[in-house]
Structure 1
Amino acid sequence: MLLGPVSARTTKLPYRVLALDDDENALSGIVELLRDAGYVVTGAETYEGAKRLLAIGSYDLFVTDVHLRGFNGLHLVRQSTADYPDMAIVIITGYDEPMIEFEATRYGALFVRKPLKAEDFLGACAISLSRVRRKRRWTRRRVIGGFRVTAHDRAAAAVDVSYGGLRLEVSGSEDLPDSFDVVVEGIGLRMEVETVWSRASADGRSLTCGVALATDATPAARTWRAIVDRLSA
C-alpha cells in the first residue's frame, strides 16, 4: 500500500496527570506549573476525591502530597501501585521525614520536597514518566493477513499488535478522533484507544494508524493481552 505524508496529528497525546494536595493554593500552583509544561491536569483537594478520580479515569502520572487532613497520601500510593502499575508517581511533602523518601523508593515513586522548585519538580515528573514508558515498550507481533475490527464504527483490520496497542488499516481517509473505541469482531471485545499517529494512503481510500490502549488496567485490556498471546502461540 502506498502511503501519503504523515498527518499533522501524529504526535503523542499529552500526558494526563492527577495532582492531589489539600492546600488549595499549593494545588493551584502545581496544576498551573504542569499545564504550562504541556500536561493535561486534573486537581483534587481531598484523599477521597482523588480516590474516586483514579477509579473512573486513566492517568499517566499521579502527584500527591503525604499529609492530607487525616489521611496519608502514601496509602493511596500503595493502592495505586497495585491497581495501576502503568502509572508514574511523584510524592511531594513539606515535612522533613526521611522515612517518606524511603517509602517513595519502595513504591517506585520519586520524591520532591516542598517548597517546589519548578525545574526539580518537572524534572522528577519527566523521569518518572520515562520509567513508565520503558515498561510500556511491548514486543510487537505481525498479524499475517490481519483480522477484522471496527474502529470508530468504521471497518478496519488489525495488522500489527502488542499488549499496549495495535496498528490499523481503516477504510476511508477521514481522520480518526484522538480517542475512540475499537471492537474486535466475533467476540465483541470493546477497547478504548488513543491515536498515536495516522497517515492516509496515496489513493485516499484508506488510513493507516497506530493506536495505544487508553489503560492497561481494565478487563478489556487483560482480554486483549490474552488474544495477543494466542496470536503468537
Structure 2
Amino acid sequence: MTKAILIAALSSTAVLAQMGPPPGPGFHDRFGGPGPFGPGGPGMRPGQVVTNAPYYATMTEQSVETLPNGGGTITHSVNGIVARDSAGRTYVQQTSTGGPFSSGTGLRTVIFLIDPVAGYAYTLYPDKNEAIQRPFKAAPAGEHRHTPPNDPNVNVSKSTGGTYQNLTDIETTTITRTIPANTIGNSATLTSTNTILYSPSLQIVVSSSRHDPRFGDSTYALNGILVGSTNNVSFSVPSGYTIKTESWRGHNGPPPPPPQE
C-alpha cells in the first residue's frame, strides 16, 4: 500500500455521518480496489443529507497491512464520535494515528462539521482553535446511484432482519471477489471479502470489514449507538475559534490535509 493510498484512507472519515446504502461490487474502495469502501468511509454518499434520523455513536476504524518477508505490519487507526441531528447536520470527531491529520507525536484530533442548513462545511483543529470554512452543496437526489458492472468473478449475498447492538433492521451484504491467477500479474488466485452491515432506519453503515490479500485488513464499527439523540453534541464552531474561508472543489471532494505546522 502506497503512502498516498494510506493518506486517502485515513482522511476518509471526514463526513462519515452522512452515509447511504452500501454500493455494489463495482464501486472502488478507498484502498484503490473494487469494493464497498468508497471515499469518505464505508458506504459513504458524499453530499447526501439525511434528515429526521438523529443519532450518536462512538466510532473505530483500523487498517492493517502485513509486509512481506517478515517485515511486520503497518497499522493505522481512527477513534472518535459521530452524530447527526434532525436537520441533517453532522459531527465527526476523529483522533487518528498516521495519515494527514496526525501530529508529530502520532495522534491528533480533528472535528468535521457539515451544516446543510447554512450551506457550509467546517474542519476544526482544536489544538489551534482554528476552523476552515468551505461551501457545502447537497448532492442531487440519485446522483450517486449507479449500476455495478456484471462481473462473473464477483459474488454478492444479502440478508435482512439482522441485529446490531440495539438496532433490529440490519441488512447484511457480503461481497466476495475472486481474481484468477495471471490476471493482474498474480501467480495465484486472489480472493477478497467485504461484509457491510447497514441500517435502513438510520441510513448508515454501522459496521464493515474487508480482507484483501493485496492491501490487508480493514474494519469499521459504530458502538454505543443512541437513536433519536445527539448526546448534546454541538454542530457549530465553538466561540474563540479563528475561522478561515477556503473554496472546496465540489461536494464530492475530500477535505485537504491540515495546515502545516
Question: Which interval holds the TM-score relative to the shorter structure?
Answer: under 0.3
Question: TM-score by structure 2 length?
Answer: 0.26
Bigger RCO of structures 1 and 2 (CA < 8 A, at least 6 apart): 2
For the pair shown, the structure with the greater C-alpha radius of gyration is 1
Question: Which one has a larger percent strand, Structure 1 or Structure 2?
Answer: 2
Question: Which one has a larger percent helix, Structure 1 or Structure 2?
Answer: 1
Question: TM-score by structure 1 length?
Answer: 0.28
